[in-house]
Structure 1
Amino acid sequence: MRHLEGTPMPVLSDARIRALKPKEKPYKQADFDGLYLLIKPNGSKLWRFKYRWLRKEKLLALGKYPEVTLADARQKRDEARSLIAKDEDPSSVRKDQKAKAAAEQTETFTKIAAELLAKKRIEGRAEATLTKTEWFHRLLGADIGHMPISQITARDVLVPLKKIENKGNHESAIRMRSAAGAVFRYAIALGLADNDPTYGLKDALIRPQVQHRAAITDPAQVGALLRVIDGFSGQTSTRLALQLLSLTALRPGELRMAEWEEVDEAKAIWTVPAHRAKMRRPHAVPLSRQALQCLKQLRDLTGWGKLLFPSVRSSKRCMSDNTLNAALRRMGYGKDEMTAHGFRAMFSTLANESGRWHPDAIERALAHVEKNEIRRAYARGEHWSERVELAQWWADHLDILKTKRPEHD
């Protein structure tokens, strides 16, 4: 077969390569365009590509024959020549690729998850949230923790999620998917992954029906509940906690973990710091006369320490998250009737139904953040003056409800 003029004649063929025998010293057998075969005394046949970079001669190893065929070697050589044409050194590119591949093997899900958790801790996220997130990370880690973050697929993530879902913990499975997604998005930001595989699992899990926390909102029943709380025979601090929940509409966790330095009784303001607030924004609460009276009683009990509501077991720990709900159960209110969080719904419902207050003032009193970004930009006011009046009206209104006993009560 004749070759076109100017086209180099390939020197090597598979038959010729197989016929090459080792010698006492290594020797080369050239192909063309810098590709050659190095035959070693032990019989190994190694592909090499010789090229010049920045006026220096360099070599690139392309593998061993026959694992790397003649056609494969020529393709690798052509790829290297293409890099040179783009002003890239093939040897440097290969080193970078190897380093990246090695890094991918060490950048596992567990490692990235731990880094993200440390970042959240520095940012001052609530300890309860961090503990829950760490728990989700451990459950995920049992199946995908050892895997390089860049190689994890949606199917891989689905395995631990289904384990939780199959136990009937549908809400936990959804929350765990969200926790996993945060890890993958963090990895993307660090340049360690290209996509978030949890996005494709959006419709793969069972979504439980939203169940709002039980709350009493009927005025007559509210009055009855308040009377029962006033007569609570358990721990005085527990009674005061429930009374303050009803008066302030704080989240139970914000109240339980409160520290005395957050309460300014002289100015009648209770400020929940950003690191303990759910929305990560400081939340100032105006205090009514009734709330200040509760705090005065509480200070006589716990004012010697740091916490408003220390645990009965240790003054360094706050009241447990089950204490308030357990007290409601002791008073005869089932979990489908009233919860500690339900005092917020009680306040929101009755305050809105009164028609006396601007809805935004009520939302600010609940420390809710406007979801619409544009509206939020124009609604930065805290409605403080109105909220001060609202707080006192609410406390007085609760006193009125307590005095309105139905005939059968």
Structure 2
Amino acid sequence: MTIKKIESAKPKDKNYRISDGNGLSLLILPSGTKTFVYRYRRPVTRKENNITYGKFPELSLADARYLHVQAKALLSKGIDPGEDRKVKKSEESQDNSFESVANEWLKKNSTEWTSKTHRTNQGRLENHVFPYIGRMPIAEITPKEILGLLQRIESKGTHETAHRVSSLCSQVFRYAVFIGKSETDPVHIVKNALPPITKTRKHRAALTDPKEVGKLLRAIEDYPGHHIVKQALRVGLYTFTRSIEIRGMTWDEVDFDRREWRVPSTRMKMRKPHIVPLSNQVRSILTAVKELSLPSKYVFSKCCE
């Protein structure tokens, strides 16, 4: 077989082959398609089988011969080259599946998220995405398939979940592009196909009337409960921090010299450290509590019981 013979070969009414020897041949279809194939007998059953190497000119004659040498080497060892290719293709498909890439992305981001966020993101993918496109090679997933996935969720009336899943899938695809397992993010093409979420404004209770603020201050000062709880309430007013942060305040977070309360990232909602300046009033409260020498690492130990 030569390049000249391959290029000059014309299609006929039926399939025919041009042999290169040792089982390698060029199969020419009536449509004009030219494909390199290997006809051989399986090692155990001795049944005839064919391996398709690729089409010409996408696959050159030299490359076809190289693949053929590899297949012959396997056959000489008693290994069926056709089955070997199936196994390798299956393994490669699993490594490049959407589920495999998504799990890799989840693991990579697990240190940046809270455990709750990680569980939520993983749950959304496992419940709404993996059963439908999880096993598909991520590079072969089309915008149409993504749209069908999102519309399936949206049809159940869970509009916000559909948008959340859309965002998650988009991040997985962008990660796949970054690591070279996909060339595009199909979610980006269809993201506007979902109807927008209609958000209802939530009015949260807040004191805006100075008289009402005054009543709150007097109520705290007249609080009849435990002394430590009362001091915690007073610190909350001065620092505008959440109750969970005040309850979890430890003495090693308080720096009297620098007049700072350093809340570590592990206790913050956004997982970022937060520095709270200590006013004179707060320093006085904390100093008074410290002088009580309570046997606890927590500043307001009574609040943690």
Q: Give the TM-score, by structure 2 length.
A: 0.61
Name the residue aligned to 1:140: 125
Give the residue type in structure 2 aligned to 1:140.
L
| Gap runs ≥5 in structure 1 | 18-25, 48-60, 64-74, 315-409
Write the mapping of 1:48-67 to structure 2, written as runs, cut at 5 A.
61-62=51-52
What's the offset of the Cα at 1:134? 1.5
What's the offset of the Cα at 1:248? 0.9
Distance 1:77 1:244, change over 3 A: same
Return 186-195 or 231-240, whichever deviates more: 231-240
- Secondary structure, in 3 states, of the residue corresponding to 1:153? helix
- Secondary structure, in 3 states, of the residue corresponding to 1:211? coil
Given that 1:161 and 1:177 are in contact with CA atoms closer than 8 Å, whether structure 2 keeps it comes out as no
**How far apart are the structure 2 equivalents of 1:29 and 1:110?**
38
Distance 1:121 1:133, change over 3 A: closer
Name the residue aligned to 1:20: none
Name the residue aligned to 2:146: 153
Given that 1:237 and 1:301 are in contact with CA atoms closer than 8 Å, whether structure 2 keeps it comes out as no
- Partner of residue 197 from structure 1, selected from 174, 187, 191: 187
Between the two proteins, the alignment pairs up a number of residues equal to 266
Name the residue aligned to 2:80: none
Q: Which has the higher contact order (CA 8 A, sep 6+)?
A: 1
Name the residue aligned to 1:406: none
Give the residue type in structure 2 aligned to 1:122.
T
- Secondary structure, in 3 states, of the residue corresponding to 1:187? helix
What's the offset of the Cα at 1:210? 3.8
Give the residue type in structure 2 aligned to 1:218.
D
What's the offset of the Cα at 1:195? 0.9
**How far apart are the structure 1 equivalents of 2:37 and 2:278?**
86
Name the residue aligned to 1:80: 59
1:38 counterpart = 2:39: yes
Name the residue aligned to 1:223: 214
Write the mapping of 1:10-25 to structure 2, written as runs, cut at 5 A.
14=14
Write the mapping of 1:2-401 to structure 2, written as runs, cut at 5 A.
8=8, 14=14, 35=36, 38=39, 61-62=51-52, 76-81=55-60, 102-106=91-95, 111-123=100-112, 125=113, 127=114, 130-146=115-131, 147-148=134-135, 150=138, 151=141, 153-160=146-153, 163=156, 165=158, 170=160, 174-175=163-164, 177-193=166-182, 194-195=184-185, 197=187, 200-202=190-192, 203-211=194-202, 213-233=204-224, 237-277=228-268, 281-296=272-287, 298-299=289-290, 304-308=295-299
**Deviation string, structure 1 residues 229-271 (Cα, Å, up to 9, x no partner):** 3334456555443322220123455444433211112432112
- Secondary structure, in 3 states, of the residue corresponding to 1:293? helix
**How far apart are the structure 2 equivalents of 1:310 and 1:198?**
51
Given that 2:169 and 2:187 are in contact with CA atoms closer than 8 Å, whether structure 1 keeps it comes out as no
What's the offset of the Cα at 1:284? 2.5
- Secondary structure, in 3 states, of the residue corresponding to 2:39? strand
Distance 1:276 1:12, change over 3 A: same
Distance 1:77 1:138, change over 3 A: same
**How far apart are the structure 1 equivalents of 2:220 and 2:195?**
44
Give the residue type in structure 1 aligned to 2:198.
R
**How far apart are the structure 2 equivalents of 1:200 and 1:7?**
43
Distance 1:80 1:157, change over 3 A: same
Given that 1:260 and 1:303 are in contact with CA atoms closer than 8 Å, whether structure 2 keeps it comes out as no
Distance 1:84 1:38, change over 3 A: closer
Q: Give the TM-score, by structure 1 length.
A: 0.48
**How far apart are the structure 2 equivalents of 1:232 and 1:76?**
85
RMSD: 4.9
Given that 1:165 and 1:173 are in contact with CA atoms closer than 8 Å, whether structure 2 keeps it comes out as yes
**How far apart are the structure 2 equivalents of 1:6 and 1:62?**
16
**Deviation string, structure 1 residues 5-50 (Cα, Å, up to 9, x no partner):** 9974559762778xxxxxxxx9788768995773769997655xxx
Give the residue type in structure 1 aligned to 2:275.
A
